[in-house]
């Protein structure tokens, strides 16, 4: 993720294999403040993201320039003048993103290490000398990675940095600085995991036993990183609690105010409660958002995959002849926004438990859901279903920003899933910016599965050319993946999800996926009735949010289970609808999309 194994040997200096974001030599008057401590503790993790790493290096060098000039102004001497000269050269080089800037800054830090060693060496205190010696050697080898750039030097430099971080962690822990100690401990783990792939390459053709051990160790370290990332994601969600309570309360108040059937007393109470609660929650929401972003971003950078993989308690038994798949767009977004986007009125906690019960009652082999964006709801589903399933995938398509939604895809499987991979649509023009749209592909014993949520239209019944073109490009990526997986073992492929393409529309008739597949649910269908419709988002929104009593159901089918490359397979596939809403009782809707359950009989 942060190591650059491919080096440009045509230049005298190589691009840094990693960024250290060394802020220890910055003289900051308020560095002991809690917010400053958190900021400096997280800087190295933010620098793991290479685009940010460059910017952070530039920022730190800028601060060093300011710090040095400040010292120069207060203490006019040659020592501080040299500090400023080093810093100015470093920032000038870094502005143009040249490795020379990193080289000069590292030489500057080396000089400080040497000065400190000379000062404390007569005391012969090994606890003070050892970290400085390790730091000095790490700087030397870091310079070597820029000047020489061999994988052996990169690996050794990272191992030295790991050792330095361990020593710093121990020192900070002894001082009682738990934030800094935890930061250094995690960074030592990251540097070790970054070094291991290089060590794998070094030992590949030299010592097979050592190579195997290193590979095994790398897997273990990655598991630790993913576990740390998982808990940081949960921590970030905890700190977002006030923010989401705030939005939920205000959306409820707006809903009550818009409802003509609500009494004046109820409206007044709801608005007063929202104003009072907002006043109390706002400071916690703002500070919580800052901490949540820091922890969320750290989790994103620590994770080795773009999803969270959890194991359930279910033990796989002999495969049944029939394989069933449950799918549903759950409209589980944080902060009560399901009221606006899905027209639901029930509390999210109630809705997610009703969906879990529905899944348990049908006991499918595989669960594929969309719009489970909130990790809190995903964890509720996991806890409700973990006795019945062995493999879970959630927070799929994780994003670096806490307010940007992941893909919303959620998977639960009774059997072990193989070759899981998330494919983002982010490079396709006009894709939603606040949601990491994409598809998740994986393999089971019965075949290959792709679950997705294609880009939406402002008006599902009347999509514009741009929206249709975006979905066309998304479908091409999906079909390419389906063909690629099937070509390797001749197993069939199944594509599942909310396509945002209305059945029997021109787009449906012309779309690649529908042309190449079997749509069992809509085979021989001529009309769509209330009993067949899988989506009534606009109807529920008009009835439950805008309180338009005259709005009629739209009777759309947007959700599909498509089968590919099954002509030569002895498979019988059927799909049926499971109601999650009733147009005659819209306030009791669990979600705005019906569930589908498909049965594959071998």
Q: Residue 153: what pLDDT?
A: 87
Say how far apart CA 18 and CA 165 lie, in whole Å.
15
> Which stretches does DSSP call E strand in 444-571?
448-453, 493-498, 518-519, 559-564
Q: Answer yes or no: do 178 and 75 share one domain.
A: yes
Nearest in space to 330 (alpha carbons), one of 396, 398, 377: 377
Q: Residue 569: what pLDDT?
A: 59
Q: Residue 10: what pLDDT?
A: 41
Question: Which of 10-14, 311-315, 329-333 comes out lowest in average pLDDT?
Answer: 10-14
Tokens read off for 216? 């095994």
Q: Answer yes or no: do 194 and 316 share one domain.
A: no
Nearest in space to 408 (alpha carbons), one of 302, 470, 495, 331: 331
Tokens read off for 221? 């370290």
Residue 72 pLDDT class (50, 70, 90 cuts) = very low
Higher local confidence (pLDDT), 84 or 506:
506
Q: Is residue 60 part of a domain?
A: yes
Q: Which residue segment(s) compose the domain that 539 sits in?
A: 307-601
Say how far apart CA 552 and CA 540 lie, in whole Å.
10
Tens-digit pLDDT profile for residues 116-139: 888 887 777 777 888 888 888 888
DSSP state of 320: P
Given 206, 226, 256, which residue is the final one in a domain? Answer: 206
Q: Answer yes or no: do 193 and 257 share one domain.
A: no
Stated as kind and residue range, the H or E segment containing 14 is none
- Strand-pairing partners, residue 443, are 418, 448
Q: How far is CA 253 from CA 344, 444, 507, 538, in A?
A: 15, 46, 39, 21
CATH number of domain containing 441: 3.60.10.10
Q: How many CB atoms lie within 10 A of CB 272?
A: 11
Per-chain mean pLDDT for the chain: 85
Say how far apart CA 379 and CA 332 lie, in whole Å.
12
Residue 597 backbone dihedrals phi, psi, to 5 degrees? -125, 125
Q: Is residue 4 part of a domain?
A: no
Q: How confident is the model over 272-296, as a mean pLDDT?
A: 91
Q: Answer yes or no: do 150 and 291 share one domain.
A: no
What's the structural domain count of the chain?
3
Whether 274 contacts 372, CB under 8 Å: no
Given 188, 206, 224, which residue is the final one in a domain? Answer: 206
Q: Where are the alpha helices (DSSP H) in 204-261?
A: 208-239, 241-258
Q: Answer yes or no: do 264 and 338 share one domain.
A: no
pTM summary value: 0.80
Q: Residue 95: what pLDDT?
A: 46
Tens-digit pLDDT profile for residues 568-597: 557 789 999 999 999 999 999 999 999 999
Q: Answer yes or no: do 279 and 333 share one domain.
A: no
CA dihedral for 92, 96, 100, 106, sign (positive or negative): positive
Nearest in space to 454 (alpha carbons), one of 329, 591, 596: 329
Q: Answer yes or no: do 142 and 283 share one domain.
A: no
Residue 7 pLDDT class (50, 70, 90 cuts) = very low
Q: Is residue 3 part of a domain?
A: no
Stated as kind and residue range, the H or E segment containing 134 is helix 126-147
Q: Is residue 334 part of a domain?
A: yes
- Residue 302 CA neighbour count, 13 Å, CB half: 26
Nearest in space to 571 (alpha carbons), one of 533, 599, 551, 530: 599
Q: Residue 177: what pLDDT?
A: 86
In three-state secondary structure terms, 308 is strand
Tokens read off for 296? 């969320």
Q: Answer yes or no: do 376 and 257 share one domain.
A: no
Q: Answer yes or no: do 268 and 134 share one domain.
A: no
Q: Where are the alpha helices (DSSP H) in 372-464?
A: 375-385
* 3-state SS, one letter per residue, for 541-558: HHHHCCCCCCCCCCCECC
Stated as kind and residue range, the H or E segment containing 24 is none
Nearest in space to 186 (alpha carbons), one of 53, 61, 48, 77: 48
Residues belonging to the chain:
602
DSSP state of 405: B
Q: Residue 110: what pLDDT?
A: 82
Q: Answer yes or no: do 100 and 78 share one domain.
A: yes
Question: Looking at the predicted structure, is the pLDDT value of residue 229 above 90?
Answer: yes
Say how far apart CA 53 and CA 532 lie, in whole Å.
52
Residue 123 backbone dihedrals phi, psi, to 5 degrees? -75, -20
Q: Answer yes or no: do 404 and 288 share one domain.
A: no
Q: Is residue 28 part of a domain?
A: no
Whether 508 contacts 514, CB under 8 Å: yes
Q: Where are the alpha helices (DSSP H) in 303-374?
A: 338-341, 348-362
Percent of the chain with pLDDT over 90: 56
Say how far apart CA 198 and CA 5 lie, in whole Å.
8
Q: Answer yes or no: do 269 and 352 share one domain.
A: no
Q: Is residue 586 part of a domain?
A: yes
In three-state secondary structure terms, 386 is coil
Say how far apart CA 294 and CA 301 lie, in whole Å.
11
Q: Is residue 453 part of a domain?
A: yes
Given 184, 206, 228, which residue is the final one in a domain? Answer: 206
∠ CA 9-10-13, rounded to 5°: 65
In three-state secondary structure terms, 332 is strand
Question: Looking at the predicted structure, is the pLDDT value of residue 186 above 50?
Answer: yes
Q: How confident is the model over 126-154, as a mean pLDDT?
A: 84
Helices (H) and strands (E) in the chain, counts: 17, 13
- Strand-pairing partners, residue 564, are 493
Q: Is residue 226 part of a domain?
A: no
Nearest in space to 95 (alpha carbons), one of 56, 66, 140, 58: 58
300 CB-near residues (< 8 Å, 6+ apart): 229, 398, 399, 400
DSSP letter string, 61-87: HHHHHHHHHHHHHHS--HHHHHHHHHH
């Amino acid at each position: 993720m942060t190591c650059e194994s491919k080096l440009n040997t045509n230049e005298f200096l190589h691009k840094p294999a990693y960024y250290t974001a060394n802020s220890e030599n910055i003289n900051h008057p308020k560095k002991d403040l809690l917010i400053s401590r958190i900021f400096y503790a997280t800087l190295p993790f933010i620098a793991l993201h290479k685009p940010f790493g460059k910017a952070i290096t530039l920022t730190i060098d800028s601060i060093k320039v300011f710090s040095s000039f400040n010292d120069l102004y207060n203490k006019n001497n040659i020592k501080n003048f040299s500090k400023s000269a080093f810093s100015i050269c470093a920032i000038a080089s870094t502005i143009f993103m040249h490795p020379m800037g990193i080289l000069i800054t590292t030489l500057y830090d080396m000089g400080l290490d040497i000065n400190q060693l000379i000062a404390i060496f007569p005391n012969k205190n090994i606890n003070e000398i050892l970290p400085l010696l390790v730091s000095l050697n790490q700087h030397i080898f870091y310079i070597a990675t820029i000047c020489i750039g061999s994988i052996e030097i990169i690996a050794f430099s990272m191992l030295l940095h790991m050792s330095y971080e361990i020593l710093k962690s121990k020192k900070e822990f002894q001082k009682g600085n738990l934030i800094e100690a935890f930061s250094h401990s995690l960074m030592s783990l990251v540097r070790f995991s970054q070094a291991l792939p290089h060590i794998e390459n070094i030992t590949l053709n030299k010592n097979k036993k050592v190579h195997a051990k290193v590979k095994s160790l790398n897997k273990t370290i990655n598991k630790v990183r993913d576990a740390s990332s998982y808990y940081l994601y949960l921590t970030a969600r905890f700190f977002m609690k006030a923010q989401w309570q705030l939005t939920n309360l205000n959306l409820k108040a707006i809903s009550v105010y818009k409802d003509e059937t609500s009494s004046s007393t109820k409206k007044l109470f709801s608005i007063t409660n929202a104003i009072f609660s907002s006043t109390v929650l706002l400071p916690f929401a703002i500070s919580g958002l800052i901490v949540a972003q820091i922890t969320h971003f750290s989790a994103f950078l620590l994770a080795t995959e773009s999803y969270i993989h959890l194991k359930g308690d279910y033990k796989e038994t002999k495969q049944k002849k029939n394989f069933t798949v449950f799918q549903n767009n759950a409209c589980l977004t944080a902060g009560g926004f399901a009221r606006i986007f899905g027209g639901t009125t029930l509390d999210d906690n109630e809705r997610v438990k009703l969906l879990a019960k529905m899944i348990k009652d049908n006991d499918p082999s595989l669960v594929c859901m969309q719009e489970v964006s909130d990790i809190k709801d995903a964890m509720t589903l996991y806890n409700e279903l973990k006795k019945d399933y062995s493999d879970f995938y959630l927070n799929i398509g994780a994003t670096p920003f806490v307010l940007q939604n992941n893909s919303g895809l959620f998977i639960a499987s009774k059997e072990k899933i193989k070759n899981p991979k998330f494919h983002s649509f982010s490079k396709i023009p006009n894709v939603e910016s606040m949601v990491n749209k994409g598809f998740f592909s994986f393999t089971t014993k019965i075949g290959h599965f792709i679950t997705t949520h294609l880009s939406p239209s402002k008006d599902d019944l009347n999509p514009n050319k741009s929206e249709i073109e975006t979905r066309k490009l998304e479908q091409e990526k999906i079909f390419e993946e389906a063909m690629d997986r099937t070509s390797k073992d001749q197993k069939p492929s199944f594509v599942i999800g909310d396509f945002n393409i209305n059945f029997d529309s021109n787009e449906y008739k012309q779309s690649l996926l529908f042309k190449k597949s079997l749509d069992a649910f809509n085979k021989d269908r001529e009309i769509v009735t209330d009993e067949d419709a899988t989506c009534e988002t606009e109807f529920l929104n008009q009835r439950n949010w805008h309180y338009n009593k005259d709005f009629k159901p739209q009777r759309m089918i947007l959700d599909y289970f498509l089968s590919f490359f099954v002509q030569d397979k002895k498979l019988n596939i059927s799909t049926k609808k499971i109601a999650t809403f009733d147009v005659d009782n819209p306030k009791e809707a669990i979600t705005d999309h019906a569930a589908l359950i498909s049965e594959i009989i071998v």
